[in-house]
Amino acid sequence: MTDAILKVVGILGDFFVRSPTRFAPGTARCLTAFLVLAACFGCDRSGDDRTSVEAPRIVVTDDTGYRIELREAPARVVSIAPNVTEIMFAIGADKKLVGVTDICDFPPEATQKPKIGNFVNPDLEKIVAREPDLVIGSGTFHPVLGRLRDLGVSVLSFNPTTIDELLVMIEKMGVVMECEAPARELTTSLTTEIESVRSDLPTGDRVKVFVEIWHDPLMTAGAGSFVNDLVETAGGDNIAASIRNHYFEISQEHVLDANPDIILAAYMEKDVSAREMILNRETWRTVSAVASGRVYDDIDPDLLLRPSVRAVHTVKELAERFYPERFGEQSK
């Protein structure tokens, strides 16, 4: 419609300019007024059409409060966090991944994706070279995301510290990737699994749990960490939950005084026998977990430390160790 009006205006205007003597003065003024009005209406309609075409179809706000508006789902996505990569595969958006970190190792197919550096220090130049429509990070806001924003690249940053926040992250990623149905199906399945565990937990005293992240210095997870939420969801009381730090150094005295019933070792180093090390500590022999042998190092630390789809399944594994009489005995 607008194009037609502009075409008519152009023809009439050209005709009037080349043949002004054919019209009486009054007619010329009327024609001039018509041209002005037609041009104005044409411009207004053009603006409306452009606004309609360019209106964003996808609007998402990340955990930093940053809002992105996209007219279409991104075709080229770079992940700078392993849990983001896992979720992309889980919701069927893995074909959009054009770059991942060196530690994005699940599922195994993720290792075949182009690398953009490590999780701690992703390479800005490699990310830009992948020509992404969107870059997604997780955890605390990474400086590289800020630099990418300055370059005009769309970015999202999520920092789930609870299972509920992780489920929201999954659904938001589903919206962005236009994979809403599989994302919702996934979160529904995970919610059902979690509720099944919760419904079988004892209503009385809860087991006291110490999560050992590293031994020298002695590190653990406190309130506000994803690990803490996993432990609590599985029916345990984290002995470090009174300290509002995600991951921090803790004293042996604190552990000995708390006397945990269970110790979980989540060492990232694969060649360290954490269970044997803890069981052989002279000063820890009176700790309930050590005396009863309830020290576990057989849960993949990725399942405890990464807020990902697999981590939610870990809740049942934890509940089996916390309450074997209810969830079945597990081998040590």
d(CA 263, CA 290): 8
- Domain assignment present for residue 197? The answer is no
Q: Which of 170, 192, 214 lies at the terminal end of a domain, its last residue?
A: 192
- Domain assignment present for residue 282? The answer is yes
Q: Which of 151, 169, 192 lies at the terminal end of a domain, its last residue?
A: 192
Strands lying side by side in the sheet with 154-158: 97-99, 77-79, 134-138, 154-158
- Domain assignment present for residue 77? The answer is yes
255 with 172, same domain? no
**Residues whose CB is less than 8 angstroms from the CB of residue 154 and which lie 6 or more positions away in sequence, other chains included:** 68, 70, 74, 133, 134, 135
Provide φ and ψ at 56, rounded to 5°: -65, 135
- Residue 97 is classified by DSSP as E
Q: Label residues 147-184 b or e (16+ Cβ within 10 Å = b).
A: ebeeeebbbbbbbbbbbebbbebbbbbbbbbbbeeebb
The CATH number of residue 102's host domain is: 3.40.50.1980
66 with 182, same domain? yes
- Domain assignment present for residue 222? The answer is yes
36 with 84, same domain? no
pLDDT score of 235: 97
Q: Which of 131, 159, 192 lies at the terminal end of a domain, its last residue?
A: 192
212 with 234, same domain? yes
- Domain assignment present for residue 112? The answer is yes
d(CA 176, CA 68): 9
188 with 256, same domain? no
Q: Total domain count for the chain?
A: 3
143 with 206, same domain? no
- Domain assignment present for residue 98? The answer is yes
183 with 62, same domain? yes
**Residues whose CB is less than 8 angstroms from the CB of residue 78 and which lie 6 or more positions away in sequence, other chains included:** 97, 98, 99, 100, 116, 127, 130, 132, 134, 135, 136
pLDDT score of 268: 81
Query: Which residue range(s) make up the domain with 300?
Result: 202-327
321 with 210, same domain? yes
Which helix (DSSP H) or strand (DSSP E) does residue 144 occupy?
A: helix 143-150
CB 307 within 8 A of CB 233: no
**Average pLDDT, 10 consecutive residues per value, the chain (332 residues):** 41 40 42 38 41 71 94 96 97 98 97 95 96 94 92 96 96 97 97 95 94 96 95 97 90 97 90 90 97 95 93 93 83 40
157 with 90, same domain? yes
Provide φ and ψ at 248, rounded to 5°: -160, 170
Dihedral (C-alpha) 90, 91, 97, 100: value to the nearest 10 degrees?
-40
19 with 132, same domain? no
How many Cβ atoms sit within 10 Å of the Cβ of residue 242?
10
- Domain assignment present for residue 29? The answer is yes
d(CA 223, CA 243): 6
d(CA 176, CA 199): 33
45 with 88, same domain? no
Torsional class of 68: left (φ above 0), alpha (ψ -120 to 50), beta (otherwise): beta
150 with 217, same domain? no
- Domain assignment present for residue 332? The answer is no
